[in-house]
Amino acid sequence: MATPRRTTADGFELQFGTNHLGHFALTGRLLPALAAASAGRVVTVSSRLHTLGRLDFRDLQSKRHYGRVRAYANSKLANLLFTAELDRRARAAGLTLRAYAVHPGYTATSLLTTGQPALLRTLLAVPNALVAVRPLTGALPALCAATLPGLPGGTFLAPRGRGSLRGAPALVTPSARARHRPTATRLWEISPDPDRRPLRLPLRRADGRPPDPVAAADAVHGLGRPDAAPRAGVTVGACT
């Protein structure tokens, strides 16, 4: 998290490549199994820091301007855009697959301190001990998204407390940038898998019947019919 600028083995900026493109590629490899499942789910771990993100499609790899935190925030914004687009396309293709994004809250792990200067690691040890929640608690939003029956696709779960640092998992409204549909569609279309191929959903229903032709066309072009937006702030009590 918030690392100095490095690149992946494929030449992508490390945080964007790991946090977004890696998730995108893995989902693509798993799509046949997910599409065949009766109710497949994809849960992507994002962050409330996505609110600091702003994607610049002229410099997605941050070659011209790089800031550690901004690059991390951009990758977490990409997670939410990917989740929304995957859920729309799956629905339009007639699949039962649903996608969710989660934020674990301020969790006492080594994520904040790994790769940081010694002084910063020492300073972060204090809030890690006093404010952060245990990793088991931080896992609750992801567990809810993966298992809670009837959870609307495309939703974002995060702790309900101030700043989403801690608290029971709740439905949270992402930033306006994370809900910008043209940006989500564009990001999907330019995000390659490791073989530089665009990710296409199988255009068939989970029950074997062909999808509606209009819905199939929508799926290819990034359109769809998302669920009605859930009410933000509703605590997902069944998982706590």
Structural contact between residues 104 and 172, judged by C-beta atoms closer than 8 angstroms? no
Residue 72 a catalytic site member? yes
Q: How far apart are CA 104 and CA 158, in angstroms?
A: 6
Q: How far apart are CA 163 and CA 161, in angstroms?
A: 6
Q: At what angle do helices 213-221 and 68-92 cross, to 10 degrees?
A: 170
Q: How far apart are CA 35 and CA 129, in angstroms?
A: 42
- Look at residues 106, 171, 103 and name the one whose alpha carbon lies nearest to residue 134: 106
Exposed, middle or buried: residue 163 (CB in 10 Å: 0-12, 13-18, 19+)? Answer: exposed
Q: Which of the following is catalytic: 66, 72, 100, 106? A: 72
User: CA of 204: how far to CAs of 95, 105, 236, in Å?
Assistant: 7, 37, 32
Q: How far apart are CA 221 and CA 191, in angstroms?
A: 14
Residues labelled catalytic: 72
